[in-house]
Chain A
Amino acid sequence: MTEVTSFLQLVVTAMVPFILAAQGTMLAGRAGVFNVAQEGLMMLGASVGFLVSLKFGGNLVGLVVAALVGGFFGWFLGWVTTRFRLDQFVIGLALFFAATGVASLLYKVVIGVTLQPPLIPTLDDVSIPLLSSIPVLGPVLFQQSAMVYLAFVVSGLLYWLLYRTNHGLKLRSVGENPKAADSLGVNVARTRIWCSAAGAALMALAGAYLPMTYTGTYTEGMVAGRGWLAIALAFFGGWRPQYILLGSAFFAGMEVLALRVQVGGLDVPHQFISMLPYVATLLVMMFALRFARIPAFLGRNYDRESRTSH
């Protein structure tokens, strides 16, 4: 395996949590729900995904349950912010706290103190026949775990959903001008709630990916700020699935590159190298991104009978 190939393979592997969490953020955001609980939901997804896989056999079950639990949190966010119009930011932070607490608490209750933590098998690489034998691209893109394919497929589906379907047309209108959407019979509350739920489910999947790829077990702090970065990434990608995919490649690429530089023995303090991804992101934004647009109603609650909410 050439060095380039292995580098790119690492990048693609590292993209997955960014893709899933940022697409989740984007999906909810395009419907106007600004979720800020990514970091917590990813931890919850990691913990639940691991524990369920361990206790009920099989990563698939773990992933499904993690997505459901995450989805429940997202549903709650959507529900209280539409039904009671509670502040999205506050609820999001409350959910961040709650999810973080529950994640560790669950592990503590189920596993407890041990020097031999139980493990789940990590995801196997699935080679796609034919495609995986393309030079460079094959091993990079088509010899990965099922979650990698899932992340890309989800991105493609989201693009299709948002821009090619009637549901997408309605969905985006809810995040742009809910009053207009409402006046045409689009169910604003339902759209928001489900987008929020589905978005949070993706975030939980992003978290569940970590134990199933990097560790085989849940470790505290394994999310390590990637949830917060997912928010940045949603802005970076202009709240569009296609650019979020590109942005994930950029973020993951910078993350892996930063370490690569150290391995290559470059004599720069590693602290500076670790800043590289963030500084580079800002530089790219400065020079390349005049396009960044955010959903006009992002983070605001819609009240049909209020005069101020449009």
Chain B
Amino acid sequence: MTTTTIPVQTPPKSGTGTSPGRGPALARQVASYVVAVLMAFVVAGVVIAILGHNPLDAYRAIVTTSFKSGFGFVETMHKWVPLVLLALAFTIPLAAGKYNIGGEGQLLVGATASTAAGILLADLPLPVLLPLVLVCGVLAGAVFAWIAAWLMDRFGINEILSTVLLNFVSFGIVDYVASEVWSDPAAGHPTTIPIGDGGLLPLVGRPPMHLGVLLAVLVTAAVVVVMRRSVPGYELRAVGANARAAQVHGIRIGRVAVGSLVVGGALAGLAGAIEVAGVHGKLIEGMQSNYLLLGIIIGLIARGNALAVPFVAFGIAVLEVGSSAMQRSAGVPSEMVLIVEALILLFLLFSDVVGARLGRSSR
């Protein structure tokens, strides 16, 4: 055995390997997430210190807000709902190789439809109105995504382009509905009047958590099962892996792509409906927050693995909820949050590279 191998730098395989996670692989992945978060905090901490604040205080705020009180935890879960749904709205079409950048618009249109139902039928009792509010949101989100899907299927318009543009259209819709149609003149902001009480998601526990959380958990579980085990899930992955081969083997790729976008839109619409029915009780301009971007980031960090999405979403929700605490209690400028998030992303990807190298050299 001659061991004169030159230690060449073999670059890592492109990180698309989505083989079902086995024990050590899973552990390595979790470890890489942990390392990345730590590294990001160290680097951001240096910046925070340079700006004259105490990084330890800042981080204590971030890490503890979600867990030190029931209130923080409930808020985190409330944030988790739209994040996980928008992440799935991005991930599902991504599996078919389609980029849904329109989660924001789909959420808003879903919320608009939910609000419309909740206002127009305000007097209906809860068992009727609530499902109606949710279904309207889901349908509206699906239809709005379908527009982009149709443009893609029928006219070959790139879905990134159409979904980005439709987001801007949805802003106009929300502004119109909230300041002209059912405007609440007392709100000082484009906001509709509240929906009927029957349209509100019941709250449970102390501090109260809306049942949309449970709904989102169920939906997420269903998506995971469908993606991994069902025939449509398989066809979706096949199209993403090689659309031509899928087509040759009897999969209707156009339908799968359109379907994946529509399902994504439906989930985003559901997120909008839950925001209306669970959190705000009405349509508020700006309620889409930065969920779209965070959803995309979650989807990408999870590497399109639907099972990882809810966990990554939880991590991001903790960060988001904690970030405002950081500004509050440590006086760190709010912009620092953006930078911390950017660093986490960067180090996450880097830790992958390092992890892959370590994994190889230990073999």
Contacts and interface: CB of A to CB of B under 8 A. Distances in A.
Q: A and B touching (C-beta < 8 Å)? A: yes
Contact of B157 (A108, A271, A292, A308): A292
A235 B158 contact: yes
B342 A95 contact: yes
Interface stretch (B132-140, B195-203, B343-351): B343-351
Interface stretch (B64-72, B163-171, B265-273): B163-171
A94 B346 contact: yes
A100 B338 contact: yes
Interface in A79-98: 80, 84-87, 89-91, 93-98
Contact of B345 (A94, A102, A286, A305): A94
Contact of A97 (B164, B300, B339): B339
Contacts of B339: 97-98, 101-102, 105
A232 interface: yes
A285 B13 contact: no
A194 to B, nearest CB: 20
Given A97-B345, A271-B173, A232 B335 contact: no
Contacts of B172: 271-272, 274-275
A97 B342 contact: yes
B337 A87 contact: no
B15 A87 contact: yes
B353 interface: yes
Contacts of A285: 151, 155, 157, 161-162
A232 B164 contact: yes
A236 B160 CA distance: 11
Nearest to B175: A271
B289 interface: no
Contacts of A90: 297, 300-301, 345, 348-349
Interface string A275-301: 101110110011001101010000001
A309 interface: yes
Given A87-B349, A108-B335, A279 B151 contact: no
B105 to A, nearest CB: 10
Contacts of B161: 231-232, 235-236, 285
Contacts of B14: 85, 301, 303, 306, 308-309
Nearest to A289: B157
B176 A286 contact: no
Interface string A92-116: 0111111011101100110000000
The winner among B10, B11, B165 for most chain A CB atoms within 10 A is B165
B12 interface: yes
Contact of B335 (A105, A231, A272): A105
Given A87-B349, A97-B345, A272 B176 contact: yes
A206 to B, nearest CB: 17
Contacts of A95: 342
B331 interface: no
Interface residues of A, number: 50
Given A90-B297, A93-B297, A235-B160, A101 B335 contact: yes
A278 B333 contact: no
B336 interface: yes
B176 A89 contact: no
Contact of B296 (A93, A225, A269): A93
Given A101-B336, A292-B156, A282 B165 contact: yes
A152 interface: no
Given A105-B335, A108-B333, A271 B300 contact: no
B160 A278 contact: no
**Size class of B's contact patch?**
35 or more
Nearest to B51: A109
Given A105-B333, A272-B172, A294-B158, A98 B296 contact: no
Interface in B19-51: 51
Contacts of A256: none
The winner among A87, A94, A272 for most chain B CB atoms within 10 A is A94
Contacts of B337: 101
A149 interface: no
B341 interface: yes
Nearest to B94: A89
A7 interface: no
A250 interface: no
A278 B166 contact: yes
B293 interface: yes
B180 interface: yes
A228 interface: yes
Contacts of B164: 228-229, 231-232
Interface in A102-154: 102, 104-105, 108-109
B275 to A, nearest CB: 21
A50 B161 CA distance: 31
Contact of A271 (B180, B297, B338, B346): B180
Nearest to A89: B300
Contacts of A102: 335, 339
The winner among B156, B336, B343 for most chain A CB atoms within 10 A is B156
A104 B335 contact: yes
Contacts of A101: 335-339, 342
Contacts of B168: 225, 229, 275, 277-278
Contacts of B301: 90
Contacts of A308: 14
Given A104-B335, A275-B168, A290-B155, 14 more contacts: A84-B12, A84-B349, A84-B353, A86-B353, A91-B349, A93-B293, A96-B293, A109-B51, A274-B175, A282-B151, A303-B13, A303-B14, A306-B13, A309-B14
Interface of B: 10-15, 51, 151, 155-158, 160-162, 164-169, 171-173, 175-176, 179-180, 293, 296-297, 300-301, 333, 335-339, 341-343, 345-346, 348-350, 352-353
21 contacts: A84-B12, A85-B353, A86-B353, A91-B345, A93-B293, A94-B341, A94-B345, A101-B336, A101-B339, A102-B335, A105-B333, A105-B335, A225-B168, A229-B164, A231-B161, A231-B164, A232-B160, A271-B180, A282-B151, A290-B156, A309-B14
Listed from nearest, the 3 A-B pairs whose CB atoms lie closest are A101-B338, A98-B342, A271-B176
